[in-house]
């Protein structure tokens, strides 16, 4: 039994049917200034949802709230029917960061990064078991990085770097994936690989939420779309919501930060 299991009760059995991500009337911001207001979303298991909005529209804020870095001033977040911290302790949530947030000079190998996906399932000393190593290997093979496993992470190309972090999420085996700009700075073949992988995970029941500026690729693999500008402008099936008129509304509205400064 790991320490993370001891700290928390297990989620109710009904959690399997609960939506992967359920956000209700969420208002959250910095130092009492709300950055996103009254956001409600329900993403079912086995779906891919794109989060689209201008810079400063609140995408990062929403992600930070979903990661538990910001405390909501009102509203709630449930992951697979559980509270956020509990879901995190039970390895239900994986996060793939933006490339800009990573220190690529860090003295760490590709293998070590992917192994970090297993830390939550290990004992307090983080000693890897044969099972951990097997899962890491499988994840590395799935994203075609097995032969590069001993490289320092900064020695990878832009697309390979993304794949390394995706492999970490795979090794973690989470049911909910949060990806921040997964396609920025990657070549077309890596984009294809990432999309195929996300589709595969969705078909296995994962809930995927990705913030993206790559509008062209959205209709090809996203089931749902959320358009935001401080609050949800439109949310629903891609075919209904991802329209010219809605996008115009999302990207032409007065800049949300400008209103407040």
Partner 1 sequence: MDALLAPLLQPMTMVFMQRALAVGAVVAVVCAVLSCFMTLKGWALMGDAVSHAVLPGVVIAYALGLPFALGAFVFGVGSVGLIGAIKQYTRVKEDTVIGLVFTGFFALGLVLISKVRSSVDLSHILFGNLLGITDADLLQTVLISLACLALLLVLRRDLLLFCFDPSHARSIGLNTGALHYLLLTLVSLTAVAGLQTVGIILVVAMLVTPGATAYLLTDRFDRMTALAVLSAVSSTVLGIYASYWLDASTAGCIVVVQTLQFLLVMVLAPRHGLLARRRLS
- The C-alpha atoms of residue 186 and residue 138 are separated, in whole angstroms, by 22
Does residue number 251 form part of the binding site for partner 1 (CB under 8 A)? Answer: no
Total residues contacting partner 1 (rule CB under 8 A)?
A: 33
Shortest approach of partner 1 to residue 236 CB, angstroms? Answer: 27
Does residue number 192 form part of the binding site for partner 1 (CB under 8 A)? Answer: no
**Which contacts qualify for 193-200: CB closer than 8 Å, 24 or more apart?**
193/143, 193/144, 193/163, 194/162, 194/163, 194/166, 195/220, 195/221, 197/142, 197/143, 197/166, 197/170, 198/48, 199/48
Does residue number 261 form part of the binding site for partner 1 (CB under 8 A)? Answer: no
Binders of partner 1 among residues 121 to 180 (CB under 8 A) are 124-126, 152, 168, 172, 178
| Eight-class DSSP state of 31 | T
φ, ψ for residue 33, nearest 5 deg: -95, 115
Among the listed residues 141, 135, 164, the one whose alpha carbon sits nearest the alpha carbon of residue 151: 164
Binders of partner 1 among residues 215 to 234 (CB under 8 A) are none
Which range touches partner 1 (CB under 8 A), out of 109-117, 189-197, 206-214, 230-238? 109-117
Q: How far is CA 217 from the centre of its chain?
A: 17
Does residue number 108 form part of the binding site for partner 1 (CB under 8 A)? Answer: yes
- Of 163 and 168, the one with the shorter C-beta distance to partner 1 is 168
Shortest approach of partner 1 to residue 207 CB, angstroms? Answer: 14
Which range touches partner 1 (CB under 8 A), out of 52-60, 113-121, 140-148, 202-210? 113-121
Binders of partner 1 among residues 29 to 68 (CB under 8 A) are 31, 67-68
- Can you read off the two tokens belonging to residue 186? 């990657």
Does residue number 104 form part of the binding site for partner 1 (CB under 8 A)? Answer: no
3-state secondary structure 49-104: EEEECCCCCCHHHHHHHHHCCCCCCEEEEEECCEEHHHHHHCCCEEEECCHHHCCC
Residue with tokens 């299991």: 5
Using CB under 8 A, which of 10, 85, 138, 260 touches partner 1? 85
| Alpha-helical regions (H) of 173-255 | 188-203, 218-221, 238-241, 244-252
Shortest approach of partner 1 to residue 254 CB, angstroms? Answer: 25
Using CB under 8 A, which of 76, 106, 129, 248 touches partner 1? 106
- Of 4 and 238, the one with the shorter C-beta distance to partner 1 is 4
- The C-alpha atoms of residue 15 and residue 81 are separated, in whole angstroms, by 5
Question: Which residues of this protein are in contact with partner 1, per CB under 8 A?
Answer: 4, 31, 67-69, 85, 88-91, 93-95, 97, 101-103, 106-109, 112, 116-117, 119-120, 124-126, 152, 168, 172, 178
């Amino acid at each position: 039994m790991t320490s993370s299991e001891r700290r928390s009760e297990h989620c109710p059995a009904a959690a399997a049917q609960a939506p992967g991500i359920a956000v209700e009337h969420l208002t959250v911001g910095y130092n009492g200034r709300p950055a996103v207001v009254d956001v409600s979303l329900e993403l079912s298991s086995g779906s891919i949802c794109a989060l689209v909005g201008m810079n400063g529209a609140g995408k990062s804020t929403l992600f930070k709230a979903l990661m538990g870095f910001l405390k909501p001033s009102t509203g709630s977040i449930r992951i697979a029917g559980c509270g956020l911290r509990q879901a995190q302790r039970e390895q239900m949530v994986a996060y793939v960061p933006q490339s800009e947030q990573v220190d690529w000079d860090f003295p760490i190998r590709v293998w070590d990064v992917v192994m970090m996906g297993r830390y939550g399932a290990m004992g307090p000393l983080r000693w890897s078991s044969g099972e951990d190593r097997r899962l890491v290997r499988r994840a590395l093979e799935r994203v075609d990085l097995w032969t590069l496993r001993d490289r320092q992470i900064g020695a990878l190309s832009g697309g390979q770097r993304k794949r390394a972090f995706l492999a970490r999420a795979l090794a973690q085996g989470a049911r909910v994936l949060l990806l921040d700009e997964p396609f920025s700075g990657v070549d077309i073949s890596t984009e294809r690989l990432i999309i195929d992988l996300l589709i595969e995970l969705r078909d296995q029941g994962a809930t995927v939420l990705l913030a993206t500026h790559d509008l062209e690729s959205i209709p090809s693999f996203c089931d749902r779309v959320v358009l935001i500008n401080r609050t949800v402008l439109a949310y629903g099936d891609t075919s209904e919501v991802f329209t010219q008129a809605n996008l115009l509304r999302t990207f032409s509205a007065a800049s949300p930060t400008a209103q407040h400064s």
